[in-house]
Structure 1
């Protein structure tokens, strides 16, 4: 640590853990969560694409697709990077990864928070006036997404400016190290960042759904629609509550590191690891909530599975029918070839029982065409005996 600097924290995971159990357990947990979460979010995206092909895309569904894509990005980039760091116990991913690891994760967390807020507002507008669909415009949704991603990518930039590689003995460490000149500015920034991408979006999103639930008026003619609105509001509230609870250890330890008075008051390594694991658990649990509690998505998943099953059965029947047809064609061709070969053999040898040798054929033909005269008969006494017998 330099004289005019203050060590803040590790970036991309703790790189000086002690104990052989953390060498395997923590990377295994992160890898398992990442694998299950990737499968779940990909399934949600497939179901949403299937919904978009069958009906007009709503703003809330577009925001759910953006939420799943953000969770997928977190699980594909951030979780494996920390698993490698915990396994190697040193930073081996280079300076560029050290500069961007915290920036990518905080940007994705900001996108999740802003997306939940936008989806909550869209659900509130739909619940207030479900018959008016003119508010949804593709251009407006694209503008909203661009604003969300732009603000989310800009907010964590100051925190990544101070990320750098430090040589500690024979290993490299990725750390955030603040200079004495920037401590006051970064202390203010450390208060603004969690309020902007964690506290305020959660409060506003929850307020939108609570207001929607209280504004829903029961009606005998629209019981099904009201039930769907209640269920959708409960689903979004569950996701918001899950996100708030799972992010709490991460942001609590993040604030603790930056506002602790000395090195002895730093948070324990177990709390830091637990906070990071909870971040990835949130991204892995959101698909489970959407596919089990969100009735339209659950019905679309069932319809997609049944359609794929029927298509697979149809393809198997077609393959089986084609195999039978091919077998019949092959047998017919073989029969025709066998008949042709038999006919050829018959034409070559019409009657094998009447075949004669070529050397004796001329002799027998001459014998059949030869008339023996009586004068030249070599055995006249045989004929005399025959005449006597006849007489």
Structure 2
């Protein structure tokens, strides 16, 4: 997987996934693993976003939920837009996606990863106001401004990943996508690659973990009986600590390989680089799994979405079972009663609920027999006689 450096460049690294790998195992195992992570992670993040959207529609939203929804959106972009590029790269072992994808592949993934880390750090501020119940703790305007600033910074800092990415031909129809640092920019980029990982990963992750640990320590050591609201905020803080810790742990190999490659005298092994890239996408699958197992609001929201989907299907089946023209009144009454009972059960009411008036009406008129010489509607004949 090594490439020779030219006289006008000081660094060569692959962009969009490790290329020129040998062996059939990496060509099949890595793409299959990435596809599995994409499918499962995308489904989990979509469920989390739908749950938070449902909470906001029912006036149960909060700043923490809005920021966690932004984290889920960043993870969804990583899984749906960045991971497929790596799947194609590992399968083809060369670059076949064109020059524009080569220039933007690493830049866009870095922007999403940095935005996710900074958004998780911002949740500490939102959780502080939620736990302290401070008035004027912020609203939609604050959230929108914070997210706009985060994404602006996240898209600006990885610009060198966009500027120095280019295609290099290896044969008549074979290309590789590499990142090349010119000699004139070697010193500036050396300083940049020392500051960039610290600003975008190390400091935000350390701040987030330290804040949540401190908040949990203060909640545990607080004297007196804890109120229900305090216990709930402590649980939310624990969930945020787990999400932030999983994100930092799973991104650590990728940032370590990134720094090692750009500042070290040798490159990391190809196996370590591939393993670090796979963990990036595993890190996008971890937050929805943690939220759906530990966060009570998300767990109840997912259950409500599931019941709503299943009950809606049951409701369509009940509508398809309605009486057609030609059925007698007793059968129609039975269908009406069954449909009403099904609707009551879908809303959480007992299924044995009856309607006395309707039941009495149809019971008194069921299986009535009319004599041949008896007029079933005598009032119509009286009106004609008058």
TM-score by length of 2: 0.80
Q: Which residue of 1 aligns with 2:140?
A: 138
1:28–1:326 CA distance, 2 compared to 1 (3 A): farther
Please say if 1:90 is aligned against 2:94. Answer: yes
Q: Distance in 2 between matches of 1:39 and 1:244?
A: 22
- 1:5–1:180: 8 Å Cα contact kept in structure 2? yes
Q: For residues 209-220 of structure 1, what are the structure 2 equivalents within 5 Å?
A: 209-216=212-219, 217=222, 219-220=224-225
Tell me what 1:33 maps to: 37
- Kept after mapping to 1: 8 A contact 2:117/2:205: yes
1:229 correspondence with 2:233: yes
Question: Where in structure 2 are the equivalents of 1:1-391 lying within 5 Å?
Answer: 1-127=5-131, 129-130=132-133, 132=134, 134-170=136-172, 171-216=174-219, 217=222, 219-220=224-225, 222-261=226-265, 265-320=266-321, 322=322, 324-326=323-325, 328=327
Larger Rg: 1
- SS in structure 2 of the partner of residue 17 of structure 1: coil
CA distance in 2, matches of 1:20, 1:326: 65
Structure 1 residue ranges without an equivalent (≥5): 333-391
- Tell me if structure 2 keeps the 8 A contact 1:63–1:116: yes
What SS does the corresponding residue of 1:328 show, helix, strand or coil? coil
1:134 partner SS: coil
Residues 193 and 263 in structure 2, CA contact (< 8 A), matched pair in contact too: no
Q: What's the CA shift for 1:7?
A: 3.1
- Matched length: 323
Q: Secondary structure at the match of 1:300?
A: helix
**Contact 2:37-2:281 within 8 A present in 1 as well:** yes
1:9-30 C-alpha deviation (Å, 9 max, x unpaired): 1000111001111111111111
State the superposition RMSD in angstroms: 1.9
Distance of 1:106 and 1:307 partners within structure 2: 37
Relative to structure 1, is the Cα distance of residues 59 and 2 closer, same or farther in structure 2, using a 3 angstrom cutoff?
same
Secondary structure in 2 matching 1:178: strand
- Aligned-pair distance for 1:309? 3.1
Residues 326 and 207 of structure 1, relative CA distance in 2, 3 Å threshold:
farther
Instruction: Name the CA distance, whole Å, in 2 between partners of 1:7 and 1:135.
Output: 47
Structure 1 residue 306: deviation in Å? 2.7
**Distance (Å, rounded) in 1 between the aligned partners of 2:136 and 2:305:** 29
Q: What secondary structure, in the 3-state scheme, does the structure 2 residue paired with 1:14 have? A: coil
Displaced runs of 4 or more, over 6 A: none
- Equivalent pair of 1:58/1:136 in contact (CA under 8 Å): no
Q: Return the offset for 1:204.
A: 1.1
Higher relative helix content: 1
Alpha-carbon distance in 2 for matches of 1:84, 1:140 = 40
Post-superposition CA distance 1:332-362 (Å, at most 9, x none)? 9xxxxxxxxxxxxxxxxxxxxxxxxxxxxxx
Structure 2 segments unaligned to the other structure (5+ residues): 333-386
| Deviation (angstroms), 1:219 | 4.6
